[in-house]
Structure formats: C-alpha cells, structure tokens
Amino acid sequence: MQRIEEPRREDRTRRDGTSACRIACAALRPLARLAGGVCGAQIFASVATREKHVALTVDDGPDPATTPELLRVLRSYGARATFFLIGERAQCHPDLVRRIVADGHEVANHLMREEASVLLPATEFQRQLAQVHELLTPFGDVAFFRPGSGLFTVRMLREAARQGYGCAMGSPLLLVTEYKNPRATGRLLARRAHPGAIIVVHEGRESRVAVSAVAHSLLAGLTERHLRSVTLSELTAKRPNPDHSCR
C-alpha cells in the first residue's frame, strides 16, 4: 500500500493562511452588499476572478525615501501596482507621480493628508476628494479612493460615488503598516494571498523604507505560486459578475 505523506508544515501554513483570508473576506460580503446598495457605491475588498491575479496597493506616497526603490523592485518582477497617493505629497513630488505612471502603475485617491478621513466634516471630505482628483487626473485616469485609516461612513461612500469613485479597501489579513521583519512580512503576505486578493502596504516616510524589501519578498513568493500582481483596474475588470459586494 502506498504511504500518504504528511503535508509539510510550510504547505499547511500556506493553505491555512489562504483559507483564513478567503473566509474572512466572505464574512464581509453582507456588509459590503448592504453599504453598496444603500449608497450606490462599489466597495472592493477582493474580487471574484478566474485569473491568478492579485492587486498590490501602496498607500501614503509618494516619497523620495521610499518610492524610487519600490518602483525598482516592482519593475524587476514585471509587477504592476496601484498607488493611493496623498495629495500634499503628490504636490511636492510630481516627478515621482510621473515615474509611477510611466512604469505602468495606477494612481488612486487617498485624500490630501495622512489622517483619518472618517473624522473630516462632510464638506472637507468632499473638498479633499475633489482636490486630489484634480491633482492626479493630469497623470491618468483615477477610478478608486481609499479612506485614510480605512474607516468610512455611508455619507462618505455616497459622496465618493457621486464623484465617480469606487472604494477600494484591502483583503482581510493582507494589510501591513510597519515592517519589523520585512522579509518575513513579505513571505507571510504571499502565503495568505489568493486570486482576486487586494494587498495593502504603506510607504510615504523614512520609517517605512523597508517597504521595498517587503515587496521583494512578497513578489518572490507570489511568483512561486504563479500569482501575478496587476492594477486594481485590471483586477476589477475581470469580474465575471460585477456587483457591489466583497468577493
């Protein structure tokens, strides 16, 4: 009789991490459907797709301390990402915004400052969303926004939908802001990723310079699993049945 070998610990960890991510995203579907139905907005935390694609998203740039090396790493893997840019930083570094777009990446709206968007008065949220849109559209189409600190209200979603935006969150268990062990962090993200996942990393300050090492480890792991990083627009365009839900 042929002996069935026990799966390696690494293989079990990868499956367990991926399954946990899928389950957590499924638990968000009712909330996303409810919020999307109420305000007419599209809310993305992951996307149903038959392709082995994920979306790597990068918050809080651009910054000379982090963006150039991150772009180099992405280029080395032939990966595309979506950069959620802070308006004030885009104003200070338009050359970096141009480099992001020239490398085939997508830019998206993260409002004017690195702060909790949910705390902004309604008129200020509306103003900042429109202001950053005006700053970024000369560089290309801008289809997505992400609220600062990841919290939103129905009012915010309604205003974003009125201005033509989809709200892009991140898949559960696939968001990191600090990098104490960059290589391990990247490997963990790669193990947890699954087709249609939206991964969130952060740059925008010197304390996050290790984001490029995280990206290197992440993209190496994704390559091993035959997963490819694409922009959010590419990922969402491949939905078989578009709706307002977290898929």
Contact, 24 vs 150, CB < 8 A?
Answer: no
Catalytic residue annotation: 59, 202
Cα 197 from Cα 71, distance rounded (Å): 21
Cα 9 from Cα 206, distance rounded (Å): 36
Cite the DSSP H helix spans in the chain. Answer: 9-39, 67-77, 87-92, 94-102, 122-136, 154-162, 182-192, 211-224, 232-237
Contact, 208 vs 240, CB < 8 A?
Answer: no
